[in-house]
Structures are given as structure tokens and as C-alpha cells.
Structure 1
């Protein structure tokens, strides 16, 4: 099950942080079709946020066709976003983790490293002709 981490100083609306973290979990295969999302009450207890914020996020995810709200049962994942063979991403993840350790050793903080990654990602995918879909982190 996913646990939402709310960054109050991020400048990103709380409901959108839930949406973005859910999308990321779907893309990475942490969540799969049929999985149940935490209840609004569970999110409120762990993240100390308003239940209406959670419901707003879940409605947005439902509007996108990613989840299905089943009254009395909960909110369930309808479809994933990950590519086939997410497990094959392990070597890339290891390389990226090593790069992040090097960035930290070079004095970059998390935001600096994310900005550098985002800039390089934009360059690589623009050169490859792949449309940029927005920031990779949130």
C-alpha cells in the first residue's frame, strides 16, 4: 500500500501531491490494477491533512481513469501506468542511485540534483523527439 508524503513547503497543492505520488506509484509498478488505495481516514491520520483534500485527489485520479471509487468498499486502481518489464529497470535504478550519491558528495542537495536531472532529461528527450510530459519528480 502507498503512504503519501506531503511536503508542505513544496509549493505544490496537497491534493496534487497525492495525485502525483499515485501516478508515480502506478508508473513504477508499486500500485497495480486491483490494488486498494488507503482510505481518506488513513491518509488523514498519517499525513495530517483534511479529508476533503484526499477526496479531491481521488476524484481527480478517477477523472483520469486511473482509479475507481466504490462506495462502501474503497478506492481501487483501474489501470497502471508502468511499462512492461518494470523489474528490468533495476539496473537503471542502481545507476541513478549511484549518480545521486555522487551528486550529494559533490555538494548538491535534493532540489539541486532534481533540477540538474530535469534539465538533462529535457535535453535528452527533446533531442530524441520525445515530447516532454512535465517534471519527473513530485
Structure 2
């Protein structure tokens, strides 16, 4: 998979990398179980700081999209796929909209649990 970043974009560099991984899963360019490039190599190829790549990978790990092991790299979780990406995107939109309305995290959680 080919990664690209745009320094002029309003989206952070780490955010751009994370979006591309999610999009790769949806499009089929990335498959569950597939290994991602080592952070150091990807950072070098994109000419960004390695911590930028690690931040993107950390975000994806927190979303349940990838797994990371120190010294072993990062790979797409076996249960990750287009469905998970769609639900993650919808959840992100829900939280953003709820925050605009001034809802607390607890109120958002209660709404989701009731749904």
C-alpha cells in the first residue's frame, strides 16, 4: 500500500496516515492480518518524524483496527474489515456532533447504550 501525506492539509499528518489505513481496509488494499510498514521505514519514506507514524498507529490500535507489539511491528487485526471501519466512522461523527451540542462523555455513552 502506498502512503502519502500533504503538509498543507488541515488534517494532522498522523491523522492522514490513519485515514489511509482505514481507507485501505475499506477498499481491500489492506487485508486483515496484513503487516503494516515499520514506523521507522514509513516515517523515512514520508519524510515525517517517526513519532508521527507511531501516533497514527496508536490511534488505530485504540480503535481496534491494528495490533502492535514492540519489536514485532504492527498489523491489521484479523477481525478488522470494512464493517468495523464504517462503524468507527459513524461513531466518530456521533461523538463530534454530540460534543458540538455540549453533551458530556457520560451522556453520549448513555445514548449509545440505549440505542
**Is the pair's TM-score, using the shorter chain for normalization, greater than 0.5?**
yes
Cα deviation, residue 17, structure 1: 0.1
Cα deviation, residue 6, structure 1: 0.4
- For 1:23 and 1:35, the matched residues in 2 are separated by 13
CA deviations over 1:42-89 (Å, ceiling 9, x no partner): 111210000010000000000000000022111010033326xxxxxx
Could you tell me whether the CA contact under 8 Å between 1:62 and 1:68 is conserved in 2? yes
Is residue 73 from structure 1 mapped to residue 75 from structure 2 by the alignment?
no
- For 1:75 and 1:33, the matched residues in 2 are separated by 12
Counterpart of 1:5 in structure 2 is: 4
- For 2:70 and 2:43, the matched residues in 1 are separated by 18
Cα deviation, residue 4, structure 1: 1.3
Aligned residues: 85
- For 1:16 and 1:26, the matched residues in 2 are separated by 16
Structure 2: gaps of 5 or more residues? 84-88, 94-115
Tell me the SS of whatever aligns to 1:69.
Answer: strand
Larger Rg: 1
Tell me the SS of whatever aligns to 1:76.
Answer: strand
Tell me the SS of whatever aligns to 2:71.
Answer: coil
Q: TM-score scaled by structure 1?
A: 0.57
CA RMSD in angstroms, aligned pairs only: 1.6
Counterpart of 1:41 in structure 2 is: 40
Could you tell me whether the CA contact under 8 Å between 2:35 and 2:74 is conserved in 1? yes
Could you tell me whether the CA contact under 8 Å between 2:32 and 2:81 is conserved in 1? no
Aligned pairs for 1:1-138 (under 5 A) are: 2-78=1-77, 79-82=79-82, 133=90
Which structure 1 residue ranges, 4+ long, deviate > 3 Å from structure 2?
Answer: none
Structure 1: gaps of 5 or more residues? 84-131
Tell me the SS of whatever aligns to 2:82.
Answer: coil
